[in-house]
Amino acid sequence: MVFFRSVTALSKLRSRLGQRSSLRDSVRWIQTQTTTDLDLRSQLAELIPEQQERLKKLKADYGKVQLGNITVDMVIGGMRGMTGLLWETSLLDPDEGIRFRGLSIPECQKVLPAAKPGGEPLPEGLLWLLLTGKVPSKEQVDALSKELRTRAVVPAHVYKAIDALPITAHPMTQFTTGVMALQVDSEFQKAYEKGIHKSKYWEPTFEDSLSLIAQVPVVAAYIYRRIFKDGKVRPVNDSLDYGANFSHMLGFDDPIVHELMRLYVTIHSDHEGGNVSAHTGHLVASALSDPYLSYAAALNGLAGPLHGLANQEVLLWIKSVVDEVGENVTTKQLKDYVWKTLKSGKVVPGFGHGVLRKTDPRYTCQREFALKHMPDDPLFQLVSKLYEVVPPILTELGKVKNPWPNVDAHSGVLLNHFGLTEARYFTVLFGVSRSIGIGSQLIWDRALGLPLERPKSVTMESLENFCKKAASS
């Protein structure tokens, strides 16, 4: 079985063919086109046939082309370096970071519609971009925002399912329970049971995905208010956009927090297909599980401390520094604390990444937000010091391929500053955001007819035998 060895290998291939710059320019041109059609579903219906033909041609013309080899290290090392998934909505470059349909985060901040001039991009705009590959107009984003508000209806049985859990249950446990309860109304499941033709699978998947994206902020806000605010629920505000409404339902009406939530949801929405939550969602959906089941499975992956739970761990670790050393920590004291953490067999949360080899652009844009709105915050200043202290120490260790901060290194400090101090809840915010990326790709999975995922596994004995045979031949 042969895969791309890495994104770098793919980049080299494009360079050899002399197509890299022209391809990027053409993609960028396509992305910045707009249309007056306000209906997202009709836009997709026009795009899908040409993309289906594109995939057929790709398979027919290049299906047997070998693009790299799998090593034993890759097999036993978490499949690092293998490229074995088709994921249309975003691509992660080790040096540049994430690109959403070819657009970097700074580019998205420039071209996607915002709630106000110079403001952060509206998540609805990113959803449109991920699904269509085109930058939407403000009118299209407003229409989509209105549609999501009409879909943001959560049945009573969902709240009952959540309420059946102890209030002490982790917020992610409650969140996944709520999503599973939403599955009762899955349009895909109903259509499949009635015998829908596979060429139409994308249509009920679209309905489920958009409803899911609309519903999860309501469920997530309910859980937050249930655990931390005596159960006093705040309803959807029909005048607010997706990010601002989520902030409002949580209980935060400061316009700056609305902007923060728009930024947070946008940059956490998608990070190509190989991370645990995205891959899990794709894997489960490949069995034709509906979007609710697939997304719930993805959330359980996101809840792991090596993935989405890391944003919780970062703030707790930073607060542990303050508790032991104080807010006015010196560089030496901070270095000593970092070494103490590492020598105890723990990691410094918020640093390193499985693919990135430079500072995460998602960290950078959050830092810019902090410099604009909260430059004197003590925890933000501590995060800035960590940026100077931690990478050289991790480099000195010699075991870390990427010593630079990732998205989790900053998000908790921003939320904490504006009053969302409950670190145990942070991964739920991540989960709400990730519904946009996972939901978008699931629609394309069904539209393109992607098959059941079934890689080959091996035993240590079979690896040993294979390697011995290869060495002797």
Active-site pick, 248, 268, 279, 307: 307
pLDDT reading at 399 higher than 90 = no
Phi, psi torsion values for 103, nearest 5 degrees: -100, 130
Residue 373 falls in the annotated catalytic set: no
In the CATH scheme, what is the code of domain 308-418? 1.10.230.10
Active-site pick, 408, 410, 417, 445: 408
Least reliable range by pLDDT among 22-26, 217-221, 340-344, 368-372 = 22-26
For 408-428, the pLDDT digits (tens) are: 888 999 999 999 999 999 999
Domain edges within the chain = 143-306+430-448, 308-418
For domain 143-306+430-448, give its CATH number from 3.30.1360.40, 2.60.120.10, 3.40.50.2300, 1.10.580.10: 1.10.580.10
Q: Confidence class of residue 35 from pLDDT cuts 50, 70 and 90?
A: low
| Ramachandran region, residue 419 (left: φ > 0; alpha: ψ -120 to 50; beta: rest) | left
Q: What is the pLDDT of residue 31?
A: 52
Number of Cβ atoms within 10 Å of the Cβ of 135: 25
Query: Rounded mean pLDDT of the chain?
Result: 90
Distance of CA 336 to the CA centre of its chain: 33
Residue 408 falls in the annotated catalytic set: yes
Asked if domains 143-306+430-448 and 308-418 share a fold, the reply is no
C-alpha to C-alpha distance for 250 and 236, rounded to whole angstroms: 10
C-alpha to C-alpha distance for 369 and 373, rounded to whole angstroms: 6
Q: Provide the edge-to-edge strand list for the sheet that holds 97-100.
A: 90-93, 97-100, 103-104
C-alpha to C-alpha distance for 413 and 36, rounded to whole angstroms: 40
pLDDT reading at 460 higher than 70 = yes
Q: What is the pLDDT of residue 153?
A: 97
Active-site pick, 248, 258, 353, 410: 353
Which residues, including other chains, have CB under 8 Å from residue 34's CB and lie 6 or more apart? 134, 135, 136, 137, 140
Least reliable range by pLDDT among 7-16, 107-116, 304-313, 327-336 = 7-16
40-71 burial code (b ≥16 CB/10 A, e <16): beebbeebbeeeeeebeeeeeeeeeeeebebe
Q: How many residues does the chain have?
A: 473
List the structure tokens of 361.
């652009």
Residue 268 falls in the annotated catalytic set: no
